[in-house]
Amino acid sequence: MVQTGYHKLKVFQKAKNLVLLIYRVTKKYPRGEQFSLISQMRRAAISVVANIVEGYSRGSTKEYIRFLNIAIGSATELKVYLEISLDLSYLNDKNDSEANPLLEEVLKLLYSYRGALMLSCS
């Protein structure tokens, strides 16, 4: 498949990998978390990717920045859910050492991308 549009963006690729990782990790959570922590974590992860794509599809840089801000908020929310999961021992050290660095990388890319777009607006 030829990568076009947002598929070329490193931030999109990493955020999509994060979604896949979160789905894989939360499969092992207790059933009682199905409609709470699992659902919240998956929604937050998907929100990051969805907002990158939706912002990309908008006609204005100003709107794109707004969607990147929402993606940053969702990524930060996911960070808290990972921390709680670790505290509850739902997340083991191996999964945490995979998820947190990837999430940090996604956040850094989002901040960098947003900053570059903000510079281009001024």
pLDDT of res. 95:
85
Dihedrals phi, psi of 4, to nearest 5 degrees = -130, 165
Per-residue pLDDT for 3 more than 80? no
Per-residue pLDDT for 35 more than 90? no
User: What is the mean predicted confidence (pLDDT) over 53-57?
Assistant: 94
Domain boundaries, the chain: 7-121
Integer Cα distance of 117 and 119 in angstroms: 5
CATH assignment of 7-121, given 1.20.1440.60, 1.10.287.950, 2.40.110.10, 3.40.50.300?
1.20.1440.60
Integer Cα distance of 87 and 83 in angstroms: 6
- This prediction has a pTM of 0.93
List, for residues 79-121, the tens digit of each pLDDT value. 999 999 999 999 988 888 999 999 999 999 999 999 999 998 8
Q: How far apart are the first and last CA of the chain?
A: 36
pLDDT tier for residue 2 given thresholds of 50, 70 and 90:
low
Contact 48, 71 (CB under 8 A): yes
